[in-house]
Amino acid sequence: MTLTVTYAERGEGGPARLRLAGELDMSSAPELNAVIDRLAAAGERRLLVDLTDLTFCDSTGIAVFVRGDNRAAAEGGWLRVTGATGRVERVLKLTGLAEVLGYGTETADPAATDRPAIG
């Protein structure tokens, strides 16, 4: 299965929103990196990534999230993930990235509050 990345227009003052579907692995990670790079070049500093339809994520995919968050943080922003289920949710929790990337926050919209910089 391939990866589909859909960009949703952001609400006024809200983060840029991406929705991932399919599998995020070594073969599809460059596609997501390219989208994140384009958004960063366009001035986007806050990115909310919806993982509801993501069925698989390996270590390469995890690295894309970390890279995206580090890039955004360098500019005063962040990358957050939401909607993960099954294996993807388990990988996020086991790696500790669920906490780092704001997954499972108590607010309805994990982008509603700013997360302090890591490190």
Report the CATH number that the domain containing residue 41 is assigned in CATH.
Answer: 3.30.750.24
- Given this model, what pLDDT does residue 12 score? 75
- Given this model, what pLDDT does residue 8 score? 80
Tell whether 110 is covered by a domain: no
DSSP conformational letter for 118:
P
- Which domain covers residue 81, as residue numbers? 3-100
pLDDT, averaged per 10 consecutive residues of the chain (119 residues), comes to 84 88 97 96 94 95 96 94 94 91 58 40
Beta bridge partners of 6: 19
- Given this model, what pLDDT does residue 21 score? 97
Tell whether 105 is covered by a domain: no
Spatial distance between the Cα atoms of 54 and 81, rounded to a whole number of angstroms: 11
- Given this model, what pLDDT does residue 13 score? 77
Kind and range of the H or E element at 48?
A: strand 46-57
Tell whether 12 is covered by a domain: yes
- Given this model, what pLDDT does residue 1 score? 67
Spatial distance between the Cα atoms of 115 and 73, rounded to a whole number of angstroms: 10
DSSP conformational letter for 84:
-
| Count of domains forming the chain | 1
